[in-house]
Amino acid sequence: MKKVGLFYGSDGGATQDIAQRIASAVGDCEVFDVSSCKKEDLDSFENLILATPTYGSGDLQDDWDSFISGLNDDAFANKTIALVGLGDQEIYSDTFCNGIAAIYQKVSKKGKVIGQTSTDGYTFDDSQAVVDGKFVGLIIDEVNQEDLSAQRIQAWVEAIKPSFA
């Protein structure tokens, strides 16, 4: 497996914690906070994991919004990309994990997105993170289903590792 670059944005620390847990499960993985990284950091990896929470009414986290808006679509060309979204399916049931959808729309134009997951086990009204009946990546709800996070991370990492060969 080639080394993986894991890029995350986090205000409250939950996404940073999940990113560290995923990096540990992946193994050969370097972790970056998008608030302090450059495009060149992204360029040095063929395999990426991009993690973001969703804020407000389905908004992308601010550091991610600033970082990704400065990148053109070619930044993700020839890259294998797995996505991770954090959200609260009870309070924000109508915009659950929409933040990850904004990243997906950008990276899926030229990159190969892997790691789609089932919506089974989640209760929400609407999510832009659902494409063709599946989430576009790993979805974590640390507020309401924290007890399922470790199991979801482990199963997802095992599923994506072969694609990072």
pLDDT tens by residue, 15-44? 999 999 999 999 999 999 999 999 999 999
pLDDT at 1 over 80: no
Count of H helices and E strands in the chain? 5, 10
pLDDT at 165 over 90: no
44 phi, psi to nearest 5 deg: -80, 5
- pTM for the complete prediction? 0.96
- Alpha carbon distances (Å) from 142 to 4, 17, 79, 91, 149: 24, 10, 28, 13, 7
The side-by-side arrangement of strands in the sheet containing 134-135 is 117-118, 134-135, 130-131
User: 55 falls in which pLDDT band (50, 70, 90)?
Assistant: confident
CATH 3.20.20.70 fits 4-164, yes or no: no
